[in-house]
């Protein structure tokens, strides 16, 4: 099956660019530290619970050999650097990486004129996300939702309500005081914003909630009408 490269919400083929060679499937391995202890065989391995970025490199070329090379380069640069959507889709259907940085490894014009192709590297977050994932709407003050991913995820939650509001997910409780209409909690970016996107961290007590792998219990206290949860489920 032909693999399509989609980035910035544009398939490369729309720009008459195709993949000559794509990256192998690379898994981000948990970072660890090896400690030697005198008088003990081997080492002690300490897992850090963090994962490094992954790199995905592509060799690309154009299917339109008659076009002006300078126009092609301008199209490619706009595609890669005028970023409106940082999702990268390539090898796994409906799964995407989040790109943190794009690097053109060598001068496009020079390499294309010499070899007929050019190289692009995407520096990505270590995990995959589900393109088809839907937000979860919670309207009951006690409910259970499930994280089907491979790791704990950092959701984005919009709490609709007024006054002093408190939600608990598993063992984590967070309270936001003096809410008018709604408040947003972004556990990935550590943001607490009011309905006008102003910082509301000063009214926040507690920690940003996470969604454990598997079952998650949610309860709330206060005048809350609903929660709108973007789970941000992550996969290896």
Give residue limits of the domains in the chain.
6-130, 136-235
Neighbours of 124 (CB within 10 A): 21
Among 101, 106, 8, which Cα is nearest to 59's?
106
- Beta strand 214-230 pairing with 234-235: unpaired
Mean pLDDT of the chain: 92
CA distance 206 to 193: 15
Question: Residue 175 pairs with which residues in a beta bridge?
Answer: 166, 205
Structure-block tokens of residue 34: 């090896």
pLDDT, average across residues 130-146: 96
pLDDT, average across residues 202-220: 97
Question: Residue 224 pairs with which residues in a beta bridge?
Answer: 161
Q: What share of the chain is helix, strand, coil (3-state, %, to 5)?
A: 10, 50, 40
pLDDT at residue 12 is higher than 50: yes
CA distance 232 to 186: 11
Q: What is the CATH number of domain 6-130?
A: 2.40.30.200
How would residue 32 be classed by pLDDT, with cut points 50, 70 and 90? confident
At the topology level, CATH places domain 136-235 in: Jelly Rolls (2.60.120)
Q: Taking each helix axis as running N to C, give the angle between helix 69-81 and helix 108-115, from 0 to 180 degrees, rounded to the nearest 10.
A: 130
């Amino acid at each position: 099956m032909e693999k399509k490269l989609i980035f910035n919400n544009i398939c490369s083929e729309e720009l008459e660019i195709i993949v000559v060679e794509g990256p192998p499937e690379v898994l981000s391995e948990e970072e660890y530290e090896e400690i030697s202890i005198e008088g003990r065989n081997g080492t002690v391995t300490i897992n850090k619970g963090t994962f490094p970025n992954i790199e995905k490199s592509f060799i690309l070329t154009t299917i339109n050999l008659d076009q002006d090379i300078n126009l092609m380069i301008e199209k490619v640069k706009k595609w890669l650097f005028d970023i409106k959507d940082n999702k990268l889709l390539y090898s796994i259907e409906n799964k995407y990486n989040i790109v943190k940085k794009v690097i053109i490894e060598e001068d496009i014009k020079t390499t294309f004129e010499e070899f007929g192709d050019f190289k692009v590297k995407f520096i990505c977050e270590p995990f995959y996300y589900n393109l088809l994932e839907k937000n979860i709407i919670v309207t009951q003050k006690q409910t259970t939702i499930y994280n089907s991913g491979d790791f704990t995820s950092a959701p984005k939650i919009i709490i609709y309500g007024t006054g002093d509001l408190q939600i608990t997910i598993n063992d984590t409780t967070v309270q936001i005081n003096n809410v008018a209409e709604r408040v947003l909690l972004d556990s990935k970016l550590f943001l607490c914003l009011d309905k006008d996107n102003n910082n509301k961290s000063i009214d926040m007590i507690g920690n940003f909630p996470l969604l454990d792998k598997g079952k998650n219990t949610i309860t709330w206290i206060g005048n809350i009408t609903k929660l709108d949860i973007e789970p941000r489920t992550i996969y290896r």
